[in-house]
Structure 1
Amino acid sequence: MASLSSFRLAVAVAALLVVGSCATEVTFKVGEGSSGKSLELVTNVAISEVEIKEKGGKDWVALKESSTNTWSLKSEAALKGPFSVRFLVKNGGYRVVDDVIPESFTAGSEYKSVVMDRMEAKPALRGAKLSFISYEVTFKVGEASSGKSLELVTNVAISKVEIKEKGSKDWVTLKESSTNTWTIKSEAPLKGPFSIRFLAKNGGYRVVDDVIPESFTAGSKYKSGINI
Structure 2
Amino acid sequence: MKRLYMMMAALVVCITLCAQQYQELWIIGTAVPGGAQKLTKVSDNDFKYAGRLKAGELRVATAKKVGKRTTYLVADAPDANIVNKGIGYTVTTDAKQAAWQVVVTEERYRFHIDTEKKQLRGELFQPWGELFLAGGATEVGWKADGKMLLMKQNLNNPCIWTWEGELKRHPEVEEPGSFKFLGQDRYHPKSIHPYAADTDILKDKRFHTGGADTKWTLSCDGRYRITVDLFNETIEAVLLK
Per the TM superposition, whether the score is higher than 0.5 is: no
Instruction: Report the TM-score, using the length of structure 1 for normalisation.
Output: 0.33
Q: Which has the higher contact order (CA 8 A, sep 6+)?
A: 1
| Higher share in strand | 1
Instruction: Report the TM-score, using the length of structure 2 for normalisation.
Output: 0.32
